[in-house]
Amino acid sequence: MISVSFPDEESAQETAKQLIEKKLIACAQLTKIHSMYRWQNQLESSQEISMQAKSIQSNFKLVQECVRQAHPYEVPEIIATPILEIDQQYLKWMLEELGLSGQQRYV
C-alpha cells in the first residue's frame, strides 16, 4: 500500500490515472483530508487529497519516480506500508491488473 498526499484533486486523479495506465498500481482511493505539518519553520494547515494505492513491493521505485515527476510539491509524501494479509480473490484481481496473473508469490 503506497500513500501519497496531493494539494488538490486534479493532481491526485491525474497521477493515479498515470500509475494505473502504466500498470504500476491496481487501484487508487482518493480521500479529502486535513493536514497539519511544519514546513520551512512554519506551522502549516491545509486541505489535501490522500491517495492510497495498491501495488506490490517491486513496483515501489517506479511508482516513486512517476509520483516525483508529476507531483507539484517539492517534497511529496511517498510512503509504502506492507500488506500483511489480503483476500486471495482481491490479490488475484490486483495481480491481473498489474499484468502479473497467476503470480501469487508476491504475498
Indicate if the pLDDT at residue 103 is higher than 70: no
Which domains does the chain show, CATH number per domain? 2-106 (3.30.70.120)
The Cα–Cα gap between 98 and 60 comes to 13
Over residues 20-73, the pLDDT tens digits come to: 999 999 999 999 999 999 999 999 999 999 999 999 999 999 999 999 999 999
Q: Are 103 and 51 in contact (CB under 8 A)?
A: no
Terminal CA-to-CA distance of the chain, rounded, Å? 12
Q: Are 49 and 33 in contact (CB under 8 A)?
A: yes
Mean pLDDT computed over 83-107:
84
Of the pLDDT bands very low, low, confident and very high (cuts 50, 70, 90), residue 104 is: low
pTM of the model: 0.90
Residue that wins the pLDDT comparison between 101 and 60: 60
